[in-house]
Amino acid sequence: MIGGLFVYNHKGEVLISRVFRDDIGRNAVDAFRVNVIHARQQVRSPVTNIARTSFFHVKRSNIWLAAVSKQNVNASMVFEFLYKMVDVMQSYFGKISEENIKNNFVLIYELLDEIVDFGYPQNTDTGILKTFITQTGVKSQTSKGQLTKSQSKEETSQITSQVTGQIGWRREGIKYRRNELFLDVLESVNLLMSPQGQVLSAHVAGRIVMKSYLSGMPECKFGINDKVLMESRGKSTMDDATRTTSGKTAIAIDDCQFHQCVKLSKFETEHSISFIPPDGEFELMKYRTTKDISLPFRVIPLVREVGRQKMEVKVVVKSNFKPSLLAQKVEVRIPTPLNTSGVQVICMKGKAKYKSSENAIVWKIKRIGGMKECQLSAEIELLNTNDKKKWTRPPISMNFEVPFAPSGFKVRYLKVFESKLNYSDHDVIKWVRYIGKSGLYETRC
């Protein structure tokens, strides 16, 4: 259980401090500052144990969020909570910065009271929170008069019943002129490749974000090309045709996790994803795949050390997807030795520059089509040093954005049923978008 939560600025000054349990003393605040924020060596581990107290921290821009616990708490739960907390704060006051936190500290304490109880995380859904924690304040209406007061009373009782009810994430009586929904499939590809082009490890972490503007209490059904779901469907219908088609495109999802609105009992028995969505934006599903990933780019490095004073680097980048698609924001980062004294770079496409502050050559290409190849060559001059330490050759890393899902993930259908109101599945306007991004995309050299 979380014992307390502290927010620090980059200097280590405490902006927010909330202690939920007695076992966390006042000195815990200082312990974290001294041992992590002001540590001589940069602390890279997100979990630090100081004097039998665990500190879990995340950093957003210059702000440190640290959850503290004396107990053997589930670390992933704590981090999930911290990320949710960041989401909640962002949705309330935008970017997380020292200024914003200082301006909204009353609100933050109010939020903390609501989302954590005695160290146990509670409802962190922004949509719901916004119904009863408003930045203007619910009470301001009550001063108008007796009538409004009774109204607001009604309102509050409604909130209460809804929050504590079965469908806590959606209130009743929502009406839209246009029923519309947006579905984003966001994937990040992680790769580690050997210099010879052998994949050492690769996985895709994907999430499906849905934005819904639907009236009433609609029930949605969602279909994807997951092997297990498809096969079970195929079996139940005994349709050979669908089976063969599904065999081609189905993917193997290693594990997945759903928003609380998805009816898990149905998922388990009928292998169908059905839910009543919250209003507005939410993350419907998260998943991970490790098999049959189509890697959008391949990096071929060639490093040659010419004596002790010079080094030659040649990097070839190949794009490996349909020629009709365009990758964007491509950036290749080639680390240089710590005793680099000068760099000459030549590249055919894009712009490349030696960034001494980061000890790397950064090569940027705005746009690149599928099945293309571009090349960079650099000459690095080195300075003799006293240390005989050999350069460790950190991997070349890459950033990009492509308009498809590298895992092969496909949305097969999304059906909306609303029995009480008179609109059908066909009346709903649906948008689907696929974005593949690079996570840690590295090639050793």
Partner 1 sequence: MPAVKGDGMRGLAVFISDIRNCKSKEAEIKRINKELANIRSKFKGDKTLDGYQKKKYVCKLLFIFLLGHDIDFGHMEAVNLLSSNKYTEKQIGYLFISVLVSANSDLMKLVIQSIKNDLASRNPVHICMAMQCIANIGSRDMAEAFTRDIPKILVSGDTIDQVKQSAALCLLRLLRQSPDLINLGEWSSRVIHLLNDQHMGVVTAAVSLIDTLVKRNPDEYKGCVSLAVSRLSRIVTSSYTDLQDYTYYFVPAPWLSVKLLRVLQNYPPPEDAAVRTRLTECLETILNKAQEPPKSKKVQHSNAKNAVLFEAINLIIHMDSDPNLLVRACNQLGQFLQHRETNLRYLALESMCLLATSEFSHEAVKKHQETVITALKTERDVSVRQRAVDLLYAMCDRTNAEEIVAEMLAYLETADYSIREEMVLKVAILAEKYAVDYTWYVDTILNLIRIAGDYVSEEVWYRVIQIVINRDDVQGYAAKTVFEALQAPACHENMVKVGGYILGEFGNLIAGDPRSSPMVQFQLLHSKFHLCAPATRGLLLSTYVKFINLFPEIKPQIQDVLRGHNQLRNSDVELQQRAVEYLQLSTLTTADVLATVLEEMPPFPERESSILAKLKKKKPDSVKENAETKMPRPAAQVNSFPEQPHPIAMPEVHNEPNQDSADLLGLSTPVPTMNATPPKDSAAGLLVDVFDTLGAMTTTTTATNGLTPGADEGFKSGASTVVGAAGDLTEGTEQRYKEFLCKNNGVLFENDLLQIGVKAEFRENLGRIGIFFGNKTSFQFTSFTSEVSLPGELSNQLMVQANPVDPVVDGGAQKQQMLNIECITDFSEPPLLNIQFVYSGAQQRIALKLPVMINKLVESTEMDSTTFFQRWKTLSSPQQECQRIFKAQHPMDSEQTKAKLLGFGMGLLENVDPNPENYVSAGVLHTRNQKVGCLLRLEPNMQAQMYRLTLRTSKESVSKELCELLESQF
Residues at the contact surface with partner 1, assessed by CB under 8 A: 10, 40, 42, 62, 338-342, 356-359, 381, 383-387, 389
Nearer to partner 1, 309 or 328 (CB): 309
Q: How far is the CB of 388 from partner 1 (least distance, A)?
A: 10
**CB-wise, 299 or 311, nearer to partner 1?**
311
Q: Tell me whether residue 274 or residue 339 sits nearer to partner 1 (CB atom).
A: 339
* In the complex, least distance from residue 381 CB atom to partner 1, rounded to whole angstroms: 6
**Closer Cβ to partner 1, 128 or 352, answer by number:** 352
The residue (of 40 and 52) whose beta carbon lies closer to partner 1 is 40
Q: Is 406 exposed, middle or buried (0-12, 13-18, 19+ CB in 10 A)?
A: buried
Q: How far is 46 from 71, CA to CA, in rounded Å?
A: 17
What minimum distance in Å lies between the beta carbon of 395 and partner 1? 19
Give the span between the Cα atoms of 125 and 14, in whole angstroms: 26
- Residue length of the chain: 445
Amino acid at 318: K
Return left, alpha or beta for 28; rule: phi > 0 is left, psi -120 to 50 is alpha, else beta.
alpha
Residue with tokens 């490349």: 352
Nearest to partner 1 of 254, 381 (CB atom): 381
> Strand 429-443 relative to strand 180-193: parallel, antiparallel, unpaired?
parallel
Smallest distance, Å, CB 353 to partner 1? 13
Q: Are strands 255-258 and 280-289 parallel, antiparallel or unpaired?
A: antiparallel
How many Å apart are CA 170 and CA 248, to the nearest integer?
A: 38
What residues form DSSP beta bridges with 310? 306, 381
Shortest reach from residue 369's CB to partner 1, in Å: 34
128 C-beta neighbours (distance < 10 Å), count:
20
Q: Which residue lies nearer to partner 1 by CB, 20 or 55?
A: 55
Question: Shortest gap between Cβ of 295 and partner 1 (angstroms)?
Answer: 30
Torsion of CA 69, 70, 72, 74, to 10 degrees: 0
Q: Return the bridge partners of 364, or none.
A: 331, 351
Distance separating alpha carbons of residues 75 and 67, to the nearest angstrom: 10
CB 358 → partner 1: shortest distance, Å? 7
